[in-house]
Structure 1
Amino acid sequence: MRNTIIITILLFVAVIGASIYYFSDLNKEKTEPVKPLTFLPKETFLITAFRNDATTDNIFKDFEIFEAIMGKEQFEQMQSFKNKLLRHSAIQPHVAEAEMYVSFHPEDGKQQALFTIPTVQRIKKEQLQSLLESLDKSFPVTLQDTLQQQIFRFDYGSKDSSLYVAYHRDIFFAAYSKNLLLKTIDDKAPKIDKKSIQYFAENNSRNSPLSVYFVHNQVPEIAKLLMRKKYGKVISLFDSLGGQSAWNLNFKNDALILSGESQTEHRDNYIELFGHQTKTTQSLHPYFPANTASYLSFSLSDKAQFHKNLWSLLEKREELKQIQAQLTEIKNSKNLSYDTDFLPLFSNEFAVVEQTNQTELAFITLKDSATFLNQAEKFATRIADSIYRFDHSNLLYALYGDPLKSFTRPYFTQVNNILIVANSQNLIQQYQRDWNRTNLLVGSLGFKNAERIQGNEANVTYFVRTQAAANIIANTLKTDFSQTFRDKENFGYQDFYGWSMQISGNDGNFLSSIYGIYKSKHALGTTPEWTYEFTNRPITQPWVFEHSDTSQFILIQEQDHTIHGIHPSGHRMWSTVFSGRVVGQIQQLKDRSIILVTDRNRLYRFDTNGKPLSGFSVGLPAEPSFSPTIATIDNEELIFIPAGQRLLAYTMDGESAENWVNKNLDGKILFDIKVLDNKVFVGTENGHFYQFSSRGELLKEENIAGRFKNPIHVAANEVIHTVDTANNLLSIPFGGQPSKRQLIDGSNKALTSFGQINSHQQPQLIILDEKRLAVFGLTDSTEMFAFTFTQDVDDRPQFFRDSQGTSLMGVASRTNNLIYIFDERGGVYDGFPIEAMPLFYYGKIDYNSADYLLCVRRDKKLYAFKK
């Protein structure tokens, strides 16, 4: 797939014109003529169309993508021309609401832009010079007479700053190249084909801020302009299609999205084989390795039709006879029929992945993995454990055509129902290591965002990751273009995570879309409102508490055990070293005092300025194992502390509660202690469940066979719910018959929690089993929603409320440092996942604030991102 990155550059070029004026019109009819396009030279790479309507300027004012593509200097220059010339009161009446075009053309190894602006009011020749000279005096205007055509030159002093303007057939044409301008107004010069112009007119949506037109025949010329040497596999699939595409812009501030239709000339081209397919789900990308630089993925809705058309294409290429002779030889020698034995083994998807080292892997879906292995010995030889090699060449080319032609006699292995193919055994072995380590493309944050935007419904998808393919791109481009690509100061190409193109069959033509996934400065998790730097690594999540009647504040602990009180603006309020690390959750009482316990056997109660209350801190007789529970028992507020096998209780003055001394239990206490209706409930890891009275008397005890490592929940009817290590949900009524229901057939590593994530009265049961999240209703055990992560999750979920009071659930994946927020329907909140450590908070950070994400990254800072 080497030298395929020209597609990316083509996408970059596609939107440069839109950044110049920011115009659109939402009300005009589709039938408006496109006469100005008839003047454009035949060598037109790309055309952008938009409308001169100042009311839509605000739509794009924060659209960073345009500046990233165009470059800061040229962007500012074009903005100046727009404001001082095009919006000048003298010229405005003639061009207001006019359909405008910016097109791109080759000239002397560079590309030149041409601006085409038809006037809505004709300007008389004798008025033209005085009108143009009346514009902003910071642009000196000089008149030249060339080929009996008046050419006006606008200058503003810097090198290469002259803009040449001609008024021809009631249209303003402007360019930085005088030669391009003269070619445009020369009626004898070859022009764009009328058929293409008509197609553009029919597919120009006035409901889009920007339309893009592209003539397919220009693909080889664009490649010649931009690339050092002959292009490779991807472009060769498209370079002889013929026809044209028309795309319209869908606005999104962190992505460029162009969608529309493509018409081809039905030549003998491989891509044409997909014109009569219909889009289907593409499911191979979860198998691609993490070092994927780009990939081509194909899916078929009608496999039989595809193979019929493919073999017809091979026949026209005069390659079919050779392939058929080879297949006949295989049938005679191996008793393997291509039609009845080999072809049915394979399913409807295949893909080619280019890795960062420019090696390739192919992926093919199988109908049935067991059947494939049974047949494999007829056409392949086992090389090593689970690795085979085809005995004959070109079998994959006969199956799927051009993308797999380079895999002549490859090696392969099998993962689930997927065949992984490579031209060397080492590549197969390296892939096996990547798969076993879950070192995959889908584990990256950028790809998750790209997948969310582009979707997986298509017949052909081409995707390139900018950073992973950066060296390939830079080495492929000619020097000037390579320097532009690497220029992070003036351009923003490195801020695009990736580019993709998707096409789907449409009755012989195509529906097509282009996506550029941008790392927007305004996207959640990109530009913080503030950061707070620590000396050591933070070791707890941030908590938000009330500080006074008018403000709240943030608490967090770092590795040297210092707890910091932080203002919602990010400023330090106070910091105090505590003895030991906070165990479990920090909690706030009604009087705003704060209570916590540490692993150095200490109980703390302090005010919002970090000052300890009288009687605190308190030394504990055992190390706390989870958060304290603060509850009112017989009108007395007590602090219950789980400490391994001991249940501790203290008064609000820090004294040991008289009735709760020496409460030793059989087994380590499971998480926190529950209090309901003046009764105390405790569960232990070896299946002992206790109910105590308000005076510390043991009322009831249930012993359940099995091991337990998850929290308990006490329902209103005093029934304890918990999950054992065999993933059984147990409901334990004291004195009654316990019930057992297995909710998942998972591993003994599953983590469960009880949390309120919707409006139901009962909390929900959340199970995290390695990569899978499942949420169940507690009473009926109905699965409410599920989600599969790309890496194992080792932390229980957190629960938050946003500024609207909506219940949310947060989940962190330590393996790839991604955090997720889920709403009550199981949807991932917009903007997530975000790259951060699993120490975070989501919600308000002050009484009237917006929602914030507070999170920690590897640089010893607390980040505050405003939603």
Structure 2
Amino acid sequence: MFTFGFDTDLCVMRNTIIVTVLLFIAVIGASIYYFSGLNSEKKETVKPLTFLPEETFLITAFQNDPTTDNIFKDFEIFEAILGKQETKQLQLLKSKLLRSTALQPYVEATEIYVSFHPEKDKISTLITIPTVDKIKDVDLPALLTSLEKSFKVNKQDTLGHTLFSMDYGAKDSLLYVTYVKDIFFASPSKELILLVLDNNKPKLDKAHINYFVDNNSRKAPLSVYFIHDQVKNMGSHILRSKYGKTIALFDNLGGQSAWNLNFKNDALILSGESETEHKKENYIELFSYQTKTTQSLYNYFPDNTASYLSFSISNNDRFKEDLRQLFEKRNELKTVNTLQENIQKQKGIHIGTDIGAILGSEFAVVEQSNQAELLFIRLKNKSTITSRLARLASAVTDSIQRFDQSNILYSLLGDPAKAFPRPYFTQIGDVLVLANSLQTLQEYQKDWRRANLLVGTLGFKNFEKIQGNEANITYFLRMRTSSSLIQRLLKPAYQKTFTNKDNYGYQDFFSWSFQISGNNGRFLSSIYGIFKSKAALGATPEWTYEFENRPITQPWVFQHSDTSQFIVVQEQDHTIHGIHPAGKKLWSTVFSGRVVGEAQQLDDRSIILLTDKDRLYRFDTSGKPLPGFSISLPATPTATPTIAQINNEQLIFIPAGRRMLVYDIQGKEVESWKNKTIDGQIHFDIKIQEGHVYVGTDNGHFYQYDDHGKLLKEEILYSTTFKNPITVAPNSDNKSVLYTVDTDGYLYTLDFVNKPTRRKISNWDSKTRLAFESTVNRNNPLMVSLNKKELATYSVRDTSKIFGFNFTQEVTDRPQFFRNDANSVFIGVAERANSLIYLFDEKGAVVNGFPIEALPNFYYGKIDYNSGNYLLCIRRDKKLYAFKN
């Protein structure tokens, strides 16, 4: 046995350390906007950058667009990164200094740079502002002292230059300013200003400056420049100990990156190009001549993923040759060849040909919140991998094997497989999953069986909306599961900032990520910070209403008077609450039993509902029962009551198992509807159309009655069962027909005249949840199915599929429908296992702001006559939340 001399630092150091780079890029992306209200044109940029010290972490440049202030003034991300206190100071500095009548004529047509530099226990900011016209030395003191209404100005001479200090009264508000070669340099650090002025100190390399100048986009509101060699310096400056393997991938990469900002109010997005020095020993260089490809392994990552690093290859032959050259450059090629030769002699299998040929073009390393790691490898042919690997591995359990030799995967994939010298592995579909620990792999198998996956989390769904899945390298860091790991890595000063929720908002980011794609020897690169905006739907409620017990019904919105509406909800102890649209309690009263189906409102605004304690209730908008109510029923109700006008009389039709109960609105049972023989259980509401009453049962018996309760016809559909509602709608001849779907996926059409017809819709199982929506689309009802994880909608008339959607968990709740202002319908779906709710429009698009964390049974629409749309939903804290959309 042998090793390649792998380092042994903690796995957490390998994957979470990259967050430091992202955080500081984010800081730059935010801060300069507070100086961006000036108008300028492009000027020569080389001279200002030549003053910057060699150890410059990041440089930003921004165009002086007069609209920038308005665009970004409410951009929450800036305040979250910079801090509330710092944000106010920057705004004051901009308005009192850069916008002053004394200075503005000199800086209004220039480009401003903000750069970041390391100092002891902090990172200091340098603002570099070339002036349009030269300011004479004799005029400068008078110009700056003219600002004394806003600042206290002092001056001193040092290194042959005049240094001004400006104090604007706030804590840590001292700013040092000097003017050299027609350029203002300003910083809160006097030491940094002196470093800039000292010509004997090393400065930025001209090659870096030229690259920045060439890639300075005048169209973007912000450009960011980063020298790759600073990765190591940044890591050592803010971390408690040496960085790990992930950041080590960028060691000795050389070169630089230039990014431009794309505006989005809930994400920080930087995209651009990266240039390297093409050093053969660097693993990243293997991808410079690849091209971006689709990455989809993230669909297999567990829910407790803290971070992942994913790789994909477009040209396998080029990758193999470049990997061979990397091994040769590292003096590892002989060792790799010896490994493969020995295995071929001992096992009769060639690693490169026999194993490499069946490995796919995508692989990824996942770090979990407990710091355990997994390696995922896409397979080309899932049917042959087991037999081939069996010759190189030994069975540990029925589904898990372990390699007999070490470093097989390293010889095929390179650096990402370093941490998996002799792993355990199992196969999930066309993906090989590997871990160093048997327990880690067994825990993953449980996660997979239970669908406890990263793609099912709200944060990742928000991430997917913004970042594409085509790249060669993707790094993803999930803040919720990585936060404690990051805190332990940061030095105390930076840890304090990271954990400060009062002044900062680092915990309000869902994730940080970057993507790299090969581009003919260079790279295209992007950085994403996905933010939990307080303005986003589901973030900041208009109001909340707290219950003592868990709510058990959806919120219903009913008319309260000619000028107002109100909300009705039942909680677990059977108390029903009447709630004002502003979230205040109107009344509450305890009912006997749990509400069955949905509550219904009559024309006189009284409300009808059924409970599972065999009670029929009718009460007014103040929660008081009407005379004669509640009424004891002779059977337990099983579905929502249907209220309809029959022979000029309003009647209440109640499904009650094997019985159909019919009452008038005074609570008296209607004589002509008594003792109707029903074969089977009525599980859903009764339909009434044009004076005819339609009933369906679970065992395939369907009834049509006239308006006096006389049975007109019974249709029996044998050898099948029905577990879903019925609907009645006009057919192409404008005659009412009944539609129903059985558990085998057939849609039946019954007109009670001709023989029923059926059409195969899909291969659904018996657990499929289905619902019809016919209030908006009366002539052509919408049929919505939820089969395990798949949502599908169909046109009932021609059974054409309108759209489909796949969830990550099996959906067990029936879909809901909400009418919108455009006389169309929204489809609500609750993914109970992940506590996520979705809202789809009729074309299948997820409504903006969804999914949202909430429990099943919610409401979307107006909550008062003149209100906008609201989401009313329940969360695990037993509160009703009202979110305005």
TM-score interval w.r.t. the shorter chain? over 0.9
CA deviations 1:57-106 (Å, max 9, x no partner) are 12122212111111222222222222222222222222225321110011
Contact 2:167 2:175 in 1 (8 A): yes
CA deviations 1:141-175 (Å, max 9, x no partner) are 10111122110001245664321101112211101
* Equivalence map 1:288-437=2 (5 Å): 288-437=301-450
Of the structure 1 ranges 342-351 and 756-765, higher mean CA displacement relative to structure 2 is found in 756-765
Tell me, in whole angstroms, the C-alpha distance in 2 between the residues paired with 1:234 and 1:547: 61
1:783 lines up with 2:794 in the alignment = no
Query: For residue 724 of structure 2, what is the aligned residue in structure 1?
Result: 710
TM-score, normalised to structure 2, is 0.95
Contact 1:25 1:51 in 2 (8 A): no
Query: For residue 625 of structure 2, what is the aligned residue in structure 1?
Result: 612
Shift of 1:466: 1.6
Query: For residue 75 of structure 1, what is the aligned residue in structure 2?
Result: 87
Shift of 1:29: 6.9
Tell me, in whole angstroms, the C-alpha distance in 2 between the residues paired with 1:202 and 1:827: 41
Q: What secondary structure sits across from 1:16 in the alignment? A: helix
Query: For residue 586 of structure 2, what is the aligned residue in structure 1?
Result: 573
Shift of 1:109: 4.2
Structure 1 pair 636–756 and aligned structure 2 pair: CA distance change class (3 A): closer
Shift of 1:52: 4.2
CA deviations 1:652-708 (Å, max 9, x no partner) are 222222211112311111300011111111000111011111110111111112111
* Equivalence map 1:117-266=2 (5 Å): 117-156=129-168, 160-266=172-278
Question: Of 120, 128, 134, which aligns to 1:108?
Answer: 120
Contact 2:34 2:91 in 1 (8 A): no
Query: For residue 838 of structure 1, what is the aligned residue in structure 2?
Result: 856
Tell me, in whole angstroms, the C-alpha distance in 1 between the residues paired with 2:40 and 2:559: 55
Contact 2:20 2:234 in 1 (8 A): no
Query: For residue 665 of structure 2, what is the aligned residue in structure 1?
Result: 652
1:11 lines up with 2:25 in the alignment = no
Query: For residue 548 of structure 1, what is the aligned residue in structure 2?
Result: 561
Give structure 2 stretches of 5+ with no counterpart: 1-10
Tell me, in whole angstroms, the C-alpha distance in 1 between the residues paired with 2:364 and 2:33: 40
Shift of 1:647: 0.8
Tell me, in whole angstroms, the C-alpha distance in 2 between the residues paired with 1:766 and 1:522: 31
Query: For residue 2 of structure 1, what is the aligned residue in structure 2?
Result: 12
**In the comparison of the two structures, how many residue pairs are matched?**
867
Shift of 1:324: 1.3
Shift of 1:809: 0.5
Tell me, in whole angstroms, the C-alpha distance in 1 between the residues paired with 2:152 and 2:40: 36
Tell me, in whole angstroms, the C-alpha distance in 2 between the residues paired with 1:358 and 1:757: 52
Tell me, in whole angstroms, the C-alpha distance in 2 between the residues paired with 1:75 and 1:745: 58
Q: Residue type of the partner of 2:746? A: N
Tell me, in whole angstroms, the C-alpha distance in 2 between the residues paired with 1:50 and 1:23: 9
Query: For residue 704 of structure 2, what is the aligned residue in structure 1?
Result: 691
Of the structure 1 ranges 588-597 and 262-271, higher mean CA displacement relative to structure 2 is found in 588-597
Query: For residue 736 of structure 1, what is the aligned residue in structure 2?
Result: 754
Tell me, in whole angstroms, the C-alpha distance in 2 between the residues paired with 1:444 and 1:26: 42
Of the structure 1 ranges 96-105 and 16-25, higher mean CA displacement relative to structure 2 is found in 16-25
Tell me, in whole angstroms, the C-alpha distance in 2 between the residues paired with 1:844 and 1:82: 43
Question: Of 570, 574, 580, which aligns to 1:557?
Answer: 570
Q: Residue type of the partner of 1:62? A: D
Of the structure 1 ranges 120-129 and 99-108, higher mean CA displacement relative to structure 2 is found in 120-129
CA deviations 1:609-658 (Å, max 9, x no partner) are 33333443333221211111111223332211111111111222222222
Give structure 1 stretches of 5+ with no counterpart: none
Shift of 1:455: 2.4
Q: What secondary structure sits across from 1:15 in the alignment? A: helix
Contact 1:85 1:136 in 2 (8 A): no
Q: Residue type of the partner of 2:359? A: F
Q: Residue type of the partner of 1:807? A: V
Q: CA RMSD in A?
A: 2.0
Of the structure 1 ranges 836-845 and 649-658, higher mean CA displacement relative to structure 2 is found in 649-658
Query: For residue 751 of structure 1, what is the aligned residue in structure 2?
Result: 769
Contact 2:776 2:823 in 1 (8 A): no
Shift of 1:41: 1.3
Contact 1:25 1:207 in 2 (8 A): no
* Equivalence map 1:520-535=2 (5 Å): 520-535=533-548
Shift of 1:525: 0.8
Structure 1 pair 192–807 and aligned structure 2 pair: CA distance change class (3 A): same
Q: Residue type of the partner of 1:118? A: P
1:41 lines up with 2:53 in the alignment = yes
Contact 1:538 1:856 in 2 (8 A): yes
Structure 1 pair 88–454 and aligned structure 2 pair: CA distance change class (3 A): same
* Equivalence map 1:615-630=2 (5 Å): 615-630=628-643
Contact 1:757 1:823 in 2 (8 A): no
Tell me, in whole angstroms, the C-alpha distance in 2 between the residues paired with 1:508 and 1:212: 21
Q: What secondary structure sits across from 2:133 in the alignment? A: coil
CA deviations 1:456-504 (Å, max 9, x no partner) are 1111110111221122211212222122222222222122121111111
Contact 1:524 1:831 in 2 (8 A): yes
Of the structure 1 ranges 582-591 and 220-229, higher mean CA displacement relative to structure 2 is found in 582-591
Contact 1:2 1:233 in 2 (8 A): no
CA deviations 1:205-228 (Å, max 9, x no partner) are 333322211111111111111112
Query: For residue 878 of structure 2, what is the aligned residue in structure 1?
Result: 860
Q: Residue type of the partner of 1:320? A: L
Shift of 1:115: 0.8
Of the structure 1 ranges 27-36 and 123-132, higher mean CA displacement relative to structure 2 is found in 27-36
CA deviations 1:96-124 (Å, max 9, x no partner) are 25321110011234311101122223322
Contact 2:43 2:110 in 1 (8 A): no
Contact 1:84 1:136 in 2 (8 A): no
CA deviations 1:200-248 (Å, max 9, x no partner) are 2232333332221111111111111111222111111112211111111
Query: For residue 4 of structure 2, what is the aligned residue in structure 1?
Result: none
Question: Percent of pairs identical after alignment?
Answer: 60
Structure 1 pair 828–509 and aligned structure 2 pair: CA distance change class (3 A): same
Q: Residue type of the partner of 1:155? A: D
Structure 1 pair 53–127 and aligned structure 2 pair: CA distance change class (3 A): farther
Q: Residue type of the partner of 1:345? A: I
Tell me, in whole angstroms, the C-alpha distance in 2 between the residues paired with 1:242 and 1:811: 50
Q: Residue type of the partner of 2:685? A: D
Shift of 1:299: 1.1
Tell me, in whole angstroms, the C-alpha distance in 2 between the residues paired with 1:158 and 1:208: 33
Of the structure 1 ranges 617-626 and 664-673, higher mean CA displacement relative to structure 2 is found in 617-626
Contact 2:776 2:819 in 1 (8 A): no
* Equivalence map 1:457-476=2 (5 Å): 457-476=470-489
Q: What secondary structure sits across from 1:166 in the alignment? A: strand
Tell me, in whole angstroms, the C-alpha distance in 2 between the residues paired with 1:757 and 1:172: 68
Contact 1:278 1:300 in 2 (8 A): yes
Shift of 1:313: 1.3
Query: For residue 3 of structure 2, what is the aligned residue in structure 1?
Result: none
Structure 1 pair 758–341 and aligned structure 2 pair: CA distance change class (3 A): farther
Structure 1 pair 415–758 and aligned structure 2 pair: CA distance change class (3 A): farther
Q: Residue type of the partner of 1:846? A: D
Tell me, in whole angstroms, the C-alpha distance in 1 between the residues paired with 2:42 and 2:640: 65
Contact 1:26 1:207 in 2 (8 A): no
Of the structure 1 ranges 136-145 and 416-425, higher mean CA displacement relative to structure 2 is found in 136-145
